[in-house]
Amino acid sequence: MPAEPAKPKRNGAKPCPVCGKPATAESHPFCSERCRDVDLNRWLSGAYAIPGRPADDEED
């Protein structure tokens, strides 16, 4: 019976977006639950807000 082939590693695996360490399967795409929580806090606090054009107050 032939052995199971090893799963190929992803060559384009991206590091943790918060700290740059290798990501883990349990917390993908982060390296840990801490980095996952840091990212969530950044979203909730508005640090990742996408800038847009100023709203016109007199559009009526």
Cβ pair 38, 45 in contact under 8 A? no
Mark the binding-site residues, compressed into ranges: 16, 19, 31, 35
Which of 20, 57, 21, 18 shows the shortest CA–CA distance to 41?
18
State the burial class of residue 40 (Cβ atoms within 10 Å of its Cβ: 0-12, 13-18, 19+). Answer: exposed
Mark the binding-site residues for Zn(2+), compressed into ranges: 16, 19, 31, 35
